[in-house]
Structure 1
Amino acid sequence: MKTFFSGTFKSTKVQRHKGSKLTQKSIFFLLSSIFLSQFSFAQEQDSTKVNKLDDVLVSAVRVTTKTPVSFSNLDKKDIKYRNLGQDIPILMNYLPSVVTTSDAGNGMGYTGIRVRGSDATRVNVTINGIPYNDAESQGTFWVNMPDFASSLESLQLQRGVGTSTNGSGAFGASLNMLTDNYASKAIGEISSSYGSFNSKKNTVKFSTGLLNDHFELAGRLSTIKSDGYIDRASSDLKSYFLQGTYVGKTTLIKALVFGGTEKTYQSWNGIDAETLNSDRTYNSAGAYTDEAGNLRFYDNETDNYNQNHYQLHWSESFSDKWSTNLALHYTKGKGYYDNYKEDADMADYGLLPVGAVSTTDLVRQKWLDNDFYGTTFSVKYKEEKLDVIFGGGWNKYEGDHFGKVIWARYASQSELGDHYYDDYSAKTDGNVFAKANYQFTEKLSFYGDLQYRNVTYKANSAETGLVDDNFNFFNPKAGLNYDLNQKNTLYFSYARANREPNRTDYEGGNVKPEKLNDFELGWRLNSEKFQLTSNFYYMAYKDQLILTGTLDDVGAPIRSNTDKSYRLGFEVDATIKLSDKFILRPNFTLSSNKNVDLAVDGQNYGTTKIAYSPEVIAGNIIVYSPIESLHISLLQKYVGEQYMNNIELPAAKLADYFVNDFNISYEIKPKSIFKSILITGLVNNILDKKYVSNGYMYDVYPYYYPQAGINFLAGLTLKF
């Protein structure tokens, strides 16, 4: 329920409506019946075509080097050496232009990501082409899907606007994830890890392999627990993943059910500058003074949420030229967070005074009960010179927000189960797009992409007021790819993007949708021992909703429109093969991120730096493999200084930091019992750097989220 820069994202999961609601059982049976009914369309398996079928799931949202877009890929092999329980943003930490953070300080529980200075609400995330961002807050809550990395085949991060996709517009990046492909042979996997702060992960995976050359059933169960680096910032996370696959000669059908349950002790408040110096692990969440004047901590100041996803995908390859994909999806989410409130005003909770007493200590729960469902589709045509994709989607979100008082020192006239507020919200999002790559000559190709998107949003809460908005967005994109020779390629692209405000933005009133013009100019070099991608970008915004660095009364980040702003940058990403044993993977981003003639509360501050946008971000991975089974890596990350507000207040400056991690893995391949035994070790922050990755402002006072010093994780994976 937290976004990257909220400091306390208490409100976001607690946002969602009444109206028609689909039950989990009805959706499951609906998807199952459709899944079974499609078997009649399948034909005999052809192994030369089967490997291409899974790509159809994400072909509508992914790009290749033929597309004039800046992107990075991570596949299963890249992930497995560091997949020891830390969240997906932490595993992506070393990609270009990426900055990550962790509330608990050790990469488990609530984590967040920024790309090119844009926070997680502006990074479009899809799973198999289906939107994952919370429709209302636009945030991404990785804590709801613990250990999801163990069920990923690959992921692709497109920086900038990227190509048209489903869900909210990408204003910093788009991340699309492809879940596990099917396995042709039966496999099993057991993995466990343990590390600092009593952190542990246990995972069991299986696949039946293709039964009768057509059917596969695969699944995963995971648990992750950690005490966290920050005091009481504990996590108790559970997740599952189940996938049924049918493979035919031209058909791939997948039915997926996956989800997770999380219970995390809140560590959203951060600490002030004085506490940072004296007690950097202090956590004020749950603190109160009892009737005897003793400082105590409420033992259930926790966030609790359960989320279940249902997806059905049907991919059909009609010929070498034509293929289609149709998907249905449903997500059910429900949860709450507990707060101990000291000396709360009874009137705020619908309680009458008890004699002369008008305040009371109480424990409240803020609930969110929501449904998200819809469909996505794509049709692809490909010939020698032309590659065309037509696609789109329709999705609806319905959310109930309500609050309960579960205990009060003076309960007044309240009854158990009473609601002290009930809010409703609904959002409908539909889009269609057409993309084309055309090879003009042997060296020159053209890329075009047109999208129309319609969004309606309704809400009725004390914070948002009555909202009934309708948005129509047209998002054109175009670019050129020119092959200088077999090794060198130049590209240029222009993309237009529009975004609607999120729920919290309406609290300030007079909010406007955002507009972005994104220009990208790049060079790709690809040789046997050296791969390089360099990219200039200029992102010009109109009415950008910038993070102000402050929070509202429930901890959600406050944003405001700024008339004109821009991000100008240069990205470099390289892979250098020094020898068969040594590989270097450096990247860096240099950028200037500015508000133009910024006006705040009637005062003009001129040109200022955009909050949470470091001008220098650099990463590097040094890989040494003396033998095939042994991998040793040094992972390095530098993040330059940045401001936590837009008026460059000296107290709002976050210091730069440089962190080094050490990763080692050794794989044994026995001749019996096990196919593979993988031993992995990860030492984070080996130089014990005391650093802060995130924070917020309370008026003119900074609050920080410190990260852990040196800490370790070690794991064992058995495959059979």
Structure 2
Amino acid sequence: MKTFVLAGACVAATAVSAQEVDTTRVNLGEAQVVTNRATRKTPIAFSNLNRAALAQVNKGQDIPFLLSTLPGVVATSDAGNGVGYTALRVRGTDATRINVTANGIPLNDAESHGLFWVNMGDFASSLNDLQVQRGVGTSTNGAGAFGASINMGTERPALLPATEVNVGYGSFNTTKNTLKFHSGLLNNHWAFDARLSYIASDGYRDRATTQLGSYFTQGTYFNGGTMLQLLAFGGKEKTYHAWDGISRDDLKHRRTYNPNGEIKEGKKVVGFYDDQTDVYFQQHAQALLTQRLAPRWNLSAALHYTYGTGYYEEYKNQRKLKDYKLPTFLLNGIEQKQSDLIRRKALENHFFGAIASLNYKEAAWDITAGMGLNRYEGDHYGRVLWVKNYLGNLRPKHEYYRNTGTKTDGNAYVRANFTPVESLNLFADMQYRFIGYKIEGTSDKKAVHDTNENFHFFNPKFGATWNVTTDHQLYASVAVAHREPTRNNYEENFSNHAPRAERLTDFEVGYRYTGAKWEANVGGYYMLYRDQFVANGRYNEIGEAIVENVKDSYRAGIELSGVWKPVQWFRWEANLALSTNRIKDYTAYLYDEDYGEHERKVGNTTIALSPGAAFNNCFAFRHRRFEASLTTQYVGRQYLDNLEMKENSLEAYCVSHLNVGYSFPLRGVKEASISATVYNLFNTKYETNGYSQTSIEKATGKLLSDPRFYPMAGTHLMFNLGLKF
């Protein structure tokens, strides 16, 4: 089940300065939590956001927009205002290659490989910190990281009792309501925390409504070197579809138009279907244990279970009845092979497993060995609810396909840091990963599924970090990663181009400087791919990009970030990502008007949706109880497919956001604050996502362009009030 960062804080600079903090171990009493976090001695590119930085930008938008000013990150929004169906790309790679974990437990969908952030409403309000690792990163559980990994840690138990209320209201009837409760430390061993949230918005685009209800609860027991946490979180989302983009002409004349739900008579749109909606309920349960076994030994273990169920319903115009296992019928003596209909596609899934790691640290050695075993079981089915003018026997909830996907995912790794001398750290990370994936049954795309694949991957990583002085640091690393195809890869490519697993070799080098007045990071990377999946410009019926393997491709770039703090009340933060993203000897497979496939030799070309430049700048001011910031983001041109045609591209854009906030004393309240954010301050017209739909004319071989775009909102506002008791 499937803009921008609030200017209330400058995420990029916070990320730079946060690299000073080693968040690998969090002391709570005498217990220690060990995660797959990178630290300053890890030779990879990463950014940290602590709880304060997340709180400053968390005004109601989804997590992708809270991260959109980090180096190389681009966030997208179907509804146009960062609420609802949102996604992000890092270094040009999409969500299916970005591994996301919470407390080390994988959150990516086992079949699609992506995380649908719409199912994680207001999750940022329950986070203690977050780390984005760019490139392959450290070994982790779940889907392979091919562009980045996002490691989220849920909030630590509060040791003092408190109640927090946050309410917000803004343009497009956007509302954010959050209630949090903390019991504080009870009997020196227990603590309980809870959150309830509701976020809703009409969206910038027509009918692009969003309703997100969510919860988070945790109970924590700790005693000396033991900490046990039981967590439950999840919620329900309901959104009106905004999965389809609009034409270039619509961008000029009816920018907010949403074609989803159209009801047509012939070619004329006569209305919109009210229940063109996506509904999904998801709940997570985690049991986390950390145990100090000895002064040098620490154990972490976790059990997890995720349950999800939902559907999307849609009105479809003039569909072939045979595709829905329905017989034709006679209407006024004429055989009807097509008709309007309402269909519902649904799924129910279970994801469960266990992970564990053992850490040893003494003098020059820091070694972690870990393993994980996860199981996924998912049922998919489709039903026809109604057919226009149908004269046959239509059974209630007529089922036209059903299939089951099962997946076993296991991994084991050993990661070591060795410091032979005080200034030098040597890093090695070895991971073995096994995947067994099977799909059985039928679908609307494939008559009978015959997918039954096993994969064995070995992912080694090596590197070194040299502390030249206390302020200057150099690092270098090389890492290998593999990734299996997704469910969509098997369904969309089953005819002539069977999907293949991807391989990535990632070379990273970097320099870090930390001083009293300013900080700087410079990183370079060369990511060499074999059989990389890249978008080909086509989208399926639910707004998901169709991808294909390309034999040889690479991404190379440089990332610079820094912060200048000349005085206590002013910070200047900025980052710049410059990259080249290329396919070697590309061959495009294009369809003609009769759905015949044609090969088109292209040669070396730019990878779709991979901007060559992305720049973020932030001026932040803070004086006593008042704070303000101005954030500006620039993203270069992005091609919608791999043909490198200007007419099939997203124009470069530059957008700014202004935030002001004030905290004040209030009787009976520990803390009170208000803030106002102006998104898209200068009313820029821009788009962050799209698809090309390029086809070929059968008779002439001429390329035909019909691109679609997802417009972003102009100037709009959000106001927030926070109270803590």
User: Is the strand fraction higher in 1 or 2?
Assistant: 2
Measured against aligned partners, the alpha-carbon deviations of 1:217-242 in whole angstroms (never above 9, x if no partner) come to: 11000001100000000001100001
Gaps of 5+ in 2: 3-25, 590-598, 695-704
CA contact (8 A) 1:326 1:376 kept: yes
Please identify, of 359-368 and 181-190, the stretch whose mean Cα deviation from structure 2 is larger.
359-368
CA contact (8 A) 1:651 1:701 kept: no
Measured against aligned partners, the alpha-carbon deviations of 1:573-616 in whole angstroms (never above 9, x if no partner) come to: 11211211110110010100000111224433121000000000
Query: CA 1:553–1:202 in 2, change beyond 3 Å: closer, same or farther?
Result: closer
Number of aligned residue pairs:
670
Whether 1:358 and 2:358 are equivalent positions in the alignment is no
CA contact (8 A) 1:551 1:558 kept: yes
Shift of 1:290: 5.5
Query: CA 1:341–1:582 in 2, change beyond 3 Å: closer, same or farther?
Result: same
Give % identity.
44
Look up the SS of the partner of 1:701 in the other structure. coil
Matches within 5 A, 1:245-264: 245-264=220-239
Shift of 1:631: 1.5
Following the alignment from structure 1 to structure 2, what is the Cα–Cα distance between the partners of residues 561 and 82? 37
The letter for the 2-side match of 1:701 is: D
TM-score, normalising length: structure 1: 0.91
Look up the SS of the partner of 1:578 in the other structure. strand
Partner of residue 371 from structure 1, selected from 350, 363, 369? 350
CA contact (8 A) 2:587 2:600 kept: yes
- The answer for the alignment partner of 1:519 in structure 2 is 507
Please identify, of 404-413 and 145-154, the stretch whose mean Cα deviation from structure 2 is larger.
404-413
Partner of residue 239 from structure 1, selected from 203, 214, 230? 214
Following the alignment from structure 1 to structure 2, what is the Cα–Cα distance between the partners of residues 314 and 416? 48
- The answer for the alignment partner of 1:399 in structure 2 is 378
Following the alignment from structure 2 to structure 1, what is the Cα–Cα distance between the partners of residues 337 and 28? 69
CA contact (8 A) 1:369 1:399 kept: yes
Measured against aligned partners, the alpha-carbon deviations of 1:635-683 in whole angstroms (never above 9, x if no partner) come to: 111100110111112221210000100111112244x521100111111
Matches within 5 A, 1:378-417: 378-409=357-388, 410=390, 412-417=392-397
Following the alignment from structure 1 to structure 2, what is the Cα–Cα distance between the partners of residues 124 and 114? 12
Following the alignment from structure 2 to structure 1, what is the Cα–Cα distance between the partners of residues 500 and 686? 36
Measured against aligned partners, the alpha-carbon deviations of 1:673-701 in whole angstroms (never above 9, x if no partner) come to: 21100111111000000001110112321
Measured against aligned partners, the alpha-carbon deviations of 1:81-119 in whole angstroms (never above 9, x if no partner) come to: 221110001011111110001111001001110000001
Shift of 1:511: 1.1
The letter for the 2-side match of 1:394 is: L
Following the alignment from structure 1 to structure 2, what is the Cα–Cα distance between the partners of residues 562 and 408? 41
- The answer for the alignment partner of 1:443 in structure 2 is 423
The letter for the 1-side match of 2:151 is: N
Matches within 5 A, 1:143-158: 143-158=118-133
Whether 1:50 and 2:53 are equivalent positions in the alignment is no
TM-score, normalising length: structure 2: 0.91
Look up the SS of the partner of 2:206 in the other structure. coil
- The answer for the alignment partner of 2:399 in structure 1 is 419
Following the alignment from structure 2 to structure 1, what is the Cα–Cα distance between the partners of residues 520 and 451? 48
Following the alignment from structure 2 to structure 1, what is the Cα–Cα distance between the partners of residues 315 and 405? 26
Query: CA 1:293–1:685 in 2, change beyond 3 Å: closer, same or farther?
Result: closer
- The answer for the alignment partner of 1:323 in structure 2 is 298
CA contact (8 A) 1:60 1:165 kept: no
Partner of residue 564 from structure 2, selected from 566, 576, 587? 576
Look up the SS of the partner of 2:329 in the other structure. coil
CA contact (8 A) 2:296 2:360 kept: yes
- The answer for the alignment partner of 1:692 in structure 2 is 687
- The answer for the alignment partner of 1:74 in structure 2 is 49
Look up the SS of the partner of 2:392 in the other structure. coil
Whether 1:304 and 2:279 are equivalent positions in the alignment is yes
Whether 1:163 and 2:138 are equivalent positions in the alignment is yes
Matches within 5 A, 1:642-681: 642-670=638-666, 672-681=667-676
Measured against aligned partners, the alpha-carbon deviations of 1:416-442 in whole angstroms (never above 9, x if no partner) come to: 133111011111100000100010111
CA contact (8 A) 1:674 1:718 kept: yes
Matches within 5 A, 1:257-272: 257-272=232-247
The letter for the 2-side match of 1:398 is: E
Following the alignment from structure 2 to structure 1, what is the Cα–Cα distance between the partners of residues 641 and 409? 32
Following the alignment from structure 1 to structure 2, what is the Cα–Cα distance between the partners of residues 162 and 610? 22
Whether 1:609 and 2:606 are equivalent positions in the alignment is yes
Shift of 1:195: 0.1
What do you get for the CA RMSD once the two structures are aligned? 1.5
The letter for the 1-side match of 2:557 is: G
Measured against aligned partners, the alpha-carbon deviations of 1:537-587 in whole angstroms (never above 9, x if no partner) come to: 000001111111212355432111111100110001112112111101100
The letter for the 1-side match of 2:263 is: Y
Following the alignment from structure 1 to structure 2, what is the Cα–Cα distance between the partners of residues 563 and 418? 42
Measured against aligned partners, the alpha-carbon deviations of 1:149-172 in whole angstroms (never above 9, x if no partner) come to: 100101000000011000111100
Please identify, of 450-459 and 551-560, the stretch whose mean Cα deviation from structure 2 is larger.
551-560
Please identify, of 288-297 and 585-594, the stretch whose mean Cα deviation from structure 2 is larger.
288-297
Look up the SS of the partner of 1:271 in the other structure. coil
Look up the SS of the partner of 2:53 in the other structure. helix
- The answer for the alignment partner of 1:532 in structure 2 is 520
Query: CA 1:291–1:499 in 2, change beyond 3 Å: closer, same or farther?
Result: closer
- The answer for the alignment partner of 1:508 in structure 2 is 493
CA contact (8 A) 1:60 1:389 kept: no
Measured against aligned partners, the alpha-carbon deviations of 1:113-149 in whole angstroms (never above 9, x if no partner) come to: 0000001111000011000111100111010011111
Look up the SS of the partner of 2:714 in the other structure. coil
Look up the SS of the partner of 2:156 in the other structure. coil
Matches within 5 A, 1:175-194: 175-194=150-169
Following the alignment from structure 2 to structure 1, what is the Cα–Cα distance between the partners of residues 485 and 573? 37
- The answer for the alignment partner of 1:563 in structure 2 is 551
Query: CA 1:284–1:153 in 2, change beyond 3 Å: closer, same or farther?
Result: same
- The answer for the alignment partner of 2:472 in structure 1 is 488
